Amino acid sequence: MKVLYIYCHPLPESFHAALREQALAGMREAGHTVDLMDLYAENFDPVLTTEGRRHYHETPSNREGLEEPIERLQQAEALVVQFPTWCFGPPAMLKGFFDRVLMPGVAFDISDPTNVRPMLTNIRKIVGIVTYGRPRYMALYMADPPRKIIRRYLKWFTKGARTEYYALYHLNVASDNARKRFLSRVRTSMAAL
């Protein structure tokens, strides 16, 4: 399976970097082709400019400057999105990626505004790998937006891809054993992708 792995964390020495390596190792073991899109390392510009917003609905000119990430997204059969939860949402870098790339003519067809249709039907599976600094009950109290982004929002664009969600809550106080178990769970799950 061709997997687009969208990674969003700025620190190369972070727990997320270790998590990414385990996920990639699991996918390599299973023989998947992985396209790693590291938003920070690739200097993705998350800012939807005034001109970008002004021409947002104008396909195909709205793709200007975004041709490469769009092509990578359209070639994928599976999408893995890994990120930390900040302020009970994804980092601004990832939110900006969604704002700029999941647009008309790429992720959805609005030629008939009364019947908007998903266009990322090439994607059959979506996986979220997410950490939280707070306990699960706090995420639930806040309605757990990251989970909904993976399991509902992204899924809609694909017309019903299967979704999986792996979360480590309360990372800031997680024991070494809890972190190791999560690393192992992610590697095993990605090997079974």
Torsional sign, CA 57, 63, 66, 71: positive
Print burial letters for 130-153: b (CB count within 10 Å at least 16), e (below 16).
bbbbbeeeebeeeebebbebbeee
Query: Which pLDDT value is given to residue 29?
Result: 95
Confidence of residue 5 (pLDDT cuts 50, 70, 90): very high
Query: Which pLDDT value is given to residue 167?
Result: 98
Query: Which pLDDT value is given to residue 156?
Result: 97
3-state secondary structure of 15: helix
Amino acid at 145: P
pLDDT in tens, 158-190: 999 999 999 999 999 999 999 999 999 999 999
pLDDT in tens, 135-160: 999 999 999 999 999 999 999 999 99
Asked if 193 and 27 count as a contact pair (C-beta separation under 8 A), the reply is yes
Closest Cα to residue 169, out of 130, 126, 127?
130
Query: Which pLDDT value is given to residue 170?
Result: 97
What is the domain partition of the chain in residue ranges? Answer: 2-191
Query: Which pLDDT value is given to residue 146?
Result: 97
CATH 3.30.70.20 fits 2-191, yes or no: no
Compute the average pLDDT of residues 121-128: 98
Half-sphere exposure of 186 (CA within 13 A, CB side): 28
Query: Which pLDDT value is given to residue 64?
Result: 94
How are beta strands 125-131 and 78-84 bridged, if at all? parallel
Compute the average pLDDT of residues 122-136: 97
Rounded CA gap, 88 and 191, in Å?
28
pLDDT in tens, 70-103: 999 999 999 999 999 999 999 999 999 999 999 9
Rounded CA gap, 117 and 129, in Å?
27
**What is the model's pTM?**
0.96
Rounded CA gap, 24 and 47, in Å?
28
Query: Which pLDDT value is given to residue 69?
Result: 98
pLDDT in tens, 28-64: 999 999 999 999 999 999 999 999 999 999 999 999 9
Query: Which pLDDT value is given to residue 137?
Result: 96
The residues pairing with 79 across neighbouring beta strands, listed in sequence order, are 4, 126
